Amino acid sequence: MQHIESFNQQMQGFIMSNRIDYAKVSPAGYRAFGGVYVYLQNCGLPKEMIYLVYLRISQINGCAYCIDMHSRDLLKLGVPVDKLVLVPVWRDAGEIFSTRERAALAWAETVTRVAETGVPDGDYQAVAVEFSDKEIADLTYAIGLMNAFNRYGIAFRSEPAVAAKARNAA
């Protein structure tokens, strides 16, 4: 129950444009996504890794709201800014990202870009070296969830918290 409250608090920052507030008009669907989010918080994968994956997916999809939110999540977990700013170029960041983080980020990219990549066998084999079957399934749930949230955030123009704060200060 605490994780559902945490999820709801995290999502409270939504400031919507003139488009619909999907959480209000379809609360059961929103709660269903929240259930997956809560599951992932307790699935055994490190939260930092999950949030790195969420951030990378949001960067690929161009979801400003989610980039803002997950960057802040990572900072709250104590991830150094030096690591955070290198997420878009993680392949070139050397040992800043662990072997498992690199495998998770590669899997996130190939699954997010499924229409382009087709998720080749080599990509699956690479992630399978680092993760158990359950971990791969959970990681893929996280990837699917964030891709869905990105589509909601972009389609309904969810405003990043930092933009809302700046607008309200003006």
Q: What is the 3-state secondary structure (H, E, C) of 118-148?
A: CCCHHHHHHHHHHCCHHHHHHHHHHHHHHHH
Residue 107 counted as domain residue: yes
Residue 47 counted as domain residue: yes
**Distance (Å, whole) CA 66 – CA 68:** 5
Helix (H, G, I), strand (E, B) or coil at 1: coil
pLDDT reading at 12 higher than 80: no
Domain that holds residue 123: 2-162
Identify the residue with better confidence: 42 or 162.
Answer: 42
pLDDT reading at 166 higher than 90: no
pLDDT reading at 125 higher than 70: yes
Residue 98 counted as domain residue: yes
**Distance (Å, whole) CA 88 – CA 110:** 14
Q: Residues 51-81: pLDDT tens digits?
A: 999 999 999 999 999 999 999 999 999 999 9
Q: What is the pLDDT of residue 162?
A: 78
Q: State mean pLDDT over 138-161.
A: 93
Q: State mean pLDDT over 101-106.
A: 98
Tally Cβ neighbours within 10 Å of residue 83. Answer: 16
Structural domain count of the chain? 1
Q: What is the pLDDT of residue 11?
A: 54
Tally Cβ neighbours within 10 Å of residue 50. Answer: 23
Rg of the Cα atoms in the chain:
16
Residue 130 counted as domain residue: yes
Quickly tell me which residue has 């977990």 as its tokens. Answer: 77
Q: Choose among 73, 64, 88: nearest CA to 41.
A: 73
Residue 168 counted as domain residue: no
Q: Contact, 5 vs 34, CB < 8 A? A: no
Residue 145 counted as domain residue: yes
Residue 137 counted as domain residue: yes
pLDDT reading at 113 higher than 60: yes
pTM of the model: 0.88
Q: Contact, 49 vs 100, CB < 8 A? A: yes
pLDDT reading at 84 higher than 90: yes
Q: Contact, 156 vs 22, CB < 8 A? A: yes
CA angle at 102 for the pair 118 and 75, rounded to the nearest 5°: 120
Q: What is the CATH number of the domain that holds 132?
A: 1.20.1290.10
Residue 167 counted as domain residue: no
